[in-house]
């Protein structure tokens, strides 16, 4: 039987390789009880070497560091494309939708094929510019202070306008999905604007690739009970998907 130091070394190696580890998998591999694994994870969390989540653990999140949108557009392109194609199928005639900021929802905007009238409300300058060439789409560009890293606006002007709206769907991107904390993003002002988007929408649809699962960003967007549908790729952790579905959240894997 391996000692504590050996177990911790293996756990951290698995975490570095995959970005997350599952309690059940570690228990089977290390031939110890799940109780022992949970104690190991608790100890490693105290040492700030990982973050525990429901039945698993993830790497200490780097998401508080804001990354430029041009940089993020270049990663996980295939996954974002499949997610966007699935989201496109949800659009209906006369929908009034909010498209939040981020590269996954920007890819969704690029994939919109509906030819019937819809209205799009967005803080994203890139989304507005992209959709301005589609004659069937009315665009409401939210105003406010421009966040250059995301090419989107934040602040009280955008929040005030959203508070007067009622929309059918919100398509939102995230930086982290944690079973305990909920949805998070890397910027707290952007998270605050997302609160207003959620209040304005009848249905909240999260577009997120599998790397966002088990992660925590700096600004909390909402609890999991405030979302209705998640579209992600098939590499998303199965244990987290199962819990989400048990909570009544529709999950589409692409």
Q: What is the pLDDT of residues 184-227, one digit of tens each?
A: 998 889 999 999 999 999 999 999 999 888 888 889 999 999 99
| DSSP secondary structure code for residue 132 in this structure | T
| DSSP secondary structure code for residue 226 in this structure | G
| Fold match, 4-58 / 69-253 | no
- Provide mean pLDDT across the span 36-40: 92
- Confidence grade of residue 75 (pLDDT, cut at 50, 70, 90): low
Pairing of strands 250-253, 229-232: parallel
Lowest mean pLDDT among 88-92, 96-100, 233-237: 233-237
103 CB burial (10 A radius; 0-12, 13-18, 19+): buried
3-class DSSP state of 124: strand
pLDDT of 69: 60
Distances (CA, A) of 184 to 23, 63, 118: 23, 9, 28
Residue 56 has pLDDT above 90, yes or no: no
**pLDDT 10s digits, 94-132:** 999 999 999 999 999 999 999 999 999 999 999 999 999
Which H or E element spans position 122? strand 118-122
Fold of 4-58: Arc Repressor Mutant, subunit A (1.10.10)
For 69-253, which CATH class? Answer: alpha beta
Average pLDDT of the chain?
Answer: 90
- Confidence grade of residue 48 (pLDDT, cut at 50, 70, 90): confident
Domain segments of the chain: what residues?
A: 4-58, 69-253
**Tokens coding 215:** 């992660």
CA distance 201 to 199: 6
């Amino acid at each position: 039987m391996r000692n504590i130091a050996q177990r911790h070394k293996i756990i951290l190696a698995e975490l570095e390789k995959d970005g997350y580890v599952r309690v059940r998998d570690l228990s089977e591999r290390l031939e110890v009880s799940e109780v022992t694994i949970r104690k190991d994870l608790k100890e490693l969390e105290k040492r700030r070497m990982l973050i525990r989540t429901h039945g698993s653990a993830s790497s200490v999140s780097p998401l508080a560091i804001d990354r430029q949108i041009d940089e993020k557009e270049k990663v996980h392109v295939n996954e974002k494309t499949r997610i966007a194609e699935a989201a496109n199928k949800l659009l209906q005639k006369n929908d009034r939708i909010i498209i939040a900021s981020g590269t996954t929802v920007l890819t969704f905007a690029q994939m919109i094929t509906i030819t019937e009238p819809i209205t799009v409300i967005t803080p994203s300058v890139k989304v507005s510019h992209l959709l301005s060439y589609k004659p069937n789409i009315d665009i409401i560009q939210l105003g406010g202070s421009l966040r250059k890293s995301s090419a989107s606006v934040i602040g009280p002007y955008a929040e005030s306008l959203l508070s007067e709206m009622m929309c059918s769907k919100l398509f939102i991107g995230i930086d982290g999905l944690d079973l305990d904390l909920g949805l998070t993003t890397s910027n707290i002002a952007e998270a605050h604007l997302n609160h207003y988007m959620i209040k304005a929408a009848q249905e909240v649809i999260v577009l997120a690739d599998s790397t966002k699962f088990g992660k925590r960003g700096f600004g909390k967007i909402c609890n999991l009970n405030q979302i209705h549908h998640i579209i992600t790729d098939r590499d998303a952790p199965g244990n987290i998907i199962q819990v989400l579905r048990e909570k009544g959240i529709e999950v589409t894997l692409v």
